[in-house]
Structure 1
């Protein structure tokens, strides 16, 4: 049986809560410094400091979460950043700020920054569409819309690769979200968000939104059904009048933050997609506006959001407003090219040379060169052979096939990767697939993942007299690795291991 590193991701709701509750959120260095100066400036009001903190959603969440954790005699959680600052006081806020990790914006994981940009876009939509109509509730609308996705921020701070995996599988390939979330997380994402929102005592409107999505979607489904008939507002009103419970639910101010986030999240994919149109129609039903009027306002607010928050390395849906209406940012990925059939005769020839007694090789380079050719003949299109030093403190690329030339000079520090450390402890084999990629991807070096952008990957460590001396990494250029290819890889690895033993005896 193949031994492989144990999964590190939690798989239960309680374990996820324990992990994410402790997760620190990185703060952009510029925001960290400017807020720190403001906290030490006696001329600054709480409103000014709160406004300054808005530039960093992560900092706003940290302050609100800390205030609600230590609410003391307060029976209600703080609903806005200004009230949270008042409860904590400037000294405790400054102490909290010192505990937050600060780093350059480009060093914060891109998926986390991308989701925070979506939250900022949602806030712009909420302020533009609803805050003017519900002026007395503008703070609830503003902070509720900004922090609605905050539970997912901590998830992406801990495991940023989950965003790409979810985006590709759900948005690009159309896999059911529930199935993907179960495979990646072990729990439904919305249930995790609700549990975190309740634990952190986030604004009540946020909790109401997640409870609706988790426990009672009937009202939402009925409202979406009525919203489809956007061209006949009189008929829509008649249907609402006939269902007083639905009418009362629809007019709740708390729904504004759910609508704003639905608009921002769906626009992240494409303005003309069915999900985006559903949220636009539902917003029209809520505001008594036609679809054309909703779209005009939503597009204007998206442009305003882009002017304030867009960044060169992040995607903002306002960019797509310059494209043809049917264009999408994410396109279905073409199926990977069928891997070439193994070259059986060449494979046997290379393996025979590896198994020759005494060893047929004069140096390590000759041995690893033959090994890489054997793996290629076995049907593996991208191959990397890494040699370990005596102290297992460094891995150095020795051979590569099918990879950029820079791969030949790759050096890795195993101490930064739990997977590599485990592979170096004893001979083991790890097969990555879409079902377990999220569990292991964060534990692999980024430079290695960049060479193998694939959900199908094989890693195996090889030993000489019980001590691991080499790690093989190989795939079929993104294609799924079937059992036949897996057996060929395993047999080739066994031949290489025997060649290492023979070569070691020859050197002595």
Structure 2
């Protein structure tokens, strides 16, 4: 992790550093692009299709084409134009200088911001390209590359993106204050400078110029868009302000709106920021808000299907969660150690659980003892539930580390394939950063909203499954020692359940 003193603190210094960053590309996309370039019968369209599968490769070609073009030549608006300008030989040389890396070896923040850009491109293509068919190339590349000035920054300093997510999205700190502290300069002013330096398409430069210094029209349009239930009043406002109407209908705004929506949905579908961008797009397209939201959700699912990259968060997964869920939540730094457990108390609780003559009069007493043992072992949150086979429902016996109202928390056993498996027979499931994307969509939304954790331990106990235990460390990863202690505690609880059943 870099310290702030090691980072550039001025726009000119940032440009010098970011210009020299060699961003990695996914190995499989890198190889396919090379194959297309080596095949003599490949058309420019076929080569462009292979290259555009990797946003990093596409950006490198676009940058090179626009860097070498003269001031009087308009920036290349598409990859095909860029390839024609620099030629296939130069393109192959360019790609040889780009590191070819397996996805798992690329920093997660870089993978995440590229997924956000792909999400923006999918939204733009799905919402606007059919209506503005002649401009689909500009819409596609403008929306995909709008955030590209940030990519080398995130590649070189991944901790910056993580800190920004934590402080701005999760903790709600002022974005401008955080950006000045992390970067030394306003983020969108830096993006504008990078876009101008790379001579990126004009729509991208216009968007960053608007965000960095000229938001008046955007603010006025957002204000009118808020009256989405009164379309006639909206139209009257636009008719009374021809300058605003011309600005709003400019096709270059599609890239800005798609990226604003993608970034907002990265945090929450039900947030005011997401609703604000959805209203603006509904006003732009002249469609009712519910219809627009349905289209947006469909495009999010298509994007997740087209880019099934392990690790990064896909907003489509959040569609399965409760509507007001937030996908980035406050959590302690990953490097921070979880609070130590009370080993002496843990031993006493486990000794009680292991008694052959059960000391528990009912299941509530057993669940309470199990919870105390897990807490003494260093776990921070423990939810113990009992299944009701007749109603296919799970009710809470003990909820430690949660608000008082969690004692009434219930789950439907049929709503989740993971719950169904855990209730069929005694099983355990450990969820961590490596497999959370795989299992997240299979967990009940209510449960994900309760735990908000990428690191979770689930265990069903009893020959006929009489208890389900779900526990974590407030979002912190399990250390090997803590994981072993958790396993031992669950073995003791399993023995106690067996003794109680007899």
TM-score category (smaller protein): 0.5 to 0.7
Query: Secondary structure of 2:12's partner?
Result: helix
Aligned to 1:17: 15
- CA offsets, 1:46-74, max 9 Å, x none? 11111111111000000000111111486
Give the structure 1 partner of residue 392 of structure 2.
none
1:121 aligns with 119
Distance in 1, matches of 2:116 and 2:170, equals 18
Q: Assess if the C-alpha contact under 8 Å between 2:58 and 2:79 holds in 1.
A: yes
Give me the whole-angstrom Cα distance separating, in 1, the residues matched to 2:72 and 2:308.
38
Q: 1:5 to 1:123 in 2, by over 3 A?
A: closer
CA distance in structure 2 between the aligned counterparts of 1:129 and 1:284, rounded to whole angstroms = 10
Deviations 1:148-205 (A, max 9, x none): 0000101101101111100000001110000000000000000000000000011100
Which of 166, 172, 179 aligns to 2:164? It is 166
Gaps of 5+ in 1: 341-452, 455-508
What corresponds to 1:428 in structure 2? Answer: none
For 1:137, the equivalent position in structure 2 comes to 135
Contact kept? 2:66, 2:75, Cα under 8 Å: yes
Runs of 4+ with >3 A deviation: 332-340
Which residue number corresponds to residue 425 of structure 2?
none
Which residue does 2:151 correspond to in 1? 153
Deviations 1:436-482 (A, max 9, x none): xxxxxxxxxxxxxxxxx99xxxxxxxxxxxxxxxxxxxxxxxxxxxx
Contact 1:173 1:333 (8 Å CA) reproduced = no
- Deviation, 1:312, is 2.4
8 Å contact from structure 1 (residues 280, 295) kept in 2: yes
Contact 2:11 2:190 in 1 (8 A): yes
2:31: which partner in 1? Answer: 33
Correspondence for 2:51: 53
- Residue 138 of structure 1 and its aligned partner are, at CA, apart by 0.4
Partner of residue 465, structure 2: none
Map 1:3-14 → 2, pairs under 5 A: 7-14=5-12
Query: Judging changes above 3 Å, is the alpha-carbon distance between structure 1 residues 155 and 292 closer, same or farther for their aligned structure 2 residues?
Result: same
2:81 to 60, 80, 83: 83
Please state if 1:271 is matched with 2:265. no
Q: How does 1:229-248 map to 2 (within 5 A)?
A: 229-248=227-246
Instruction: Find the residue that maps to 1:187 and give its secondary structure.
Output: coil
* 1:224 maps to 2:225: no
Aligned with 2:211 (options 213, 216, 231):
213
Summarize deviations over 1:253-299 as a string: whole Å, max 9, x none. 00001011011110000100010000000001101111101100000
CA-atom RMSD, angstroms?
2.3
Alignment match of 1:101 (pick from 99, 102, 115): 99
User: What is the correspondence of 1:52-71 to structure 2 with a 5 Å cutoff?
Assistant: 52-71=50-69
> 1:244 and 1:10, CA in 2 relative to 1: closer, same or farther beyond 3 A?
same
Q: Which residue of 2 aligns with 1:176?
A: 174
Whole-angstrom distance in 1 between the partners of 2:274 and 2:311: 23
The one of 319, 322, 326 aligned to 1:321: 319
Corresponding residue of 2:309: 311
Do the aligned partners of residues 238 and 96 (structure 1) sit closer, same or farther apart at CA in structure 2, a change above 3 Å counting? same
Mapped contact 1:54–1:60 kept (Cα < 8 A): yes
3-state SS of paired residue (1:230): coil
- Give, in whole Å, the separation in 2 of the partners of 1:122 and 1:33: 25
| Partner Cα separation in structure 1 for residue 81 and residue 322 of structure 2 | 45
Q: Larger relative CO (CA 8 A, sep 6+): 1 or 2?
A: 1
Report the Cα offset of residue 318 of structure 1.
0.2
| Structure 1 residue 87 displacement after superposition | 0.4
Shift of 1:324: 1.5
Contact preservation (8 Å) 1:117, 1:310: no
- Whole-angstrom CA distance in 2 between matches of 1:129 and 1:316: 19
1:79–1:203 contact (8 Å) kept in structure 2: yes
Distance in 2, Cα, partners of 1:188 & 1:5? 18
Aligned match of 1:403: none
1:193 aligns with 2:191: yes
Determine helix, strand or coil for the equivalent of 2:85: helix
Deviations 1:205-257 (A, max 9, x none): 00010111112101000000000010000000001111111011000000001
Q: Taking structure 1 as reference, are residues 199 and 6 closer, same or farther at Cα in structure 2, changes over 3 Å only?
A: closer
Contact 1:219 1:249 in 2 (8 A): yes
Report the secondary structure of 2:264's partner residue: helix
Partner residue in 1 for 2:492 = none
Unaligned runs of 5+ in 2: 341-474, 477-502
Distance in 2 separating the partners of 1:6 and 1:288: 46
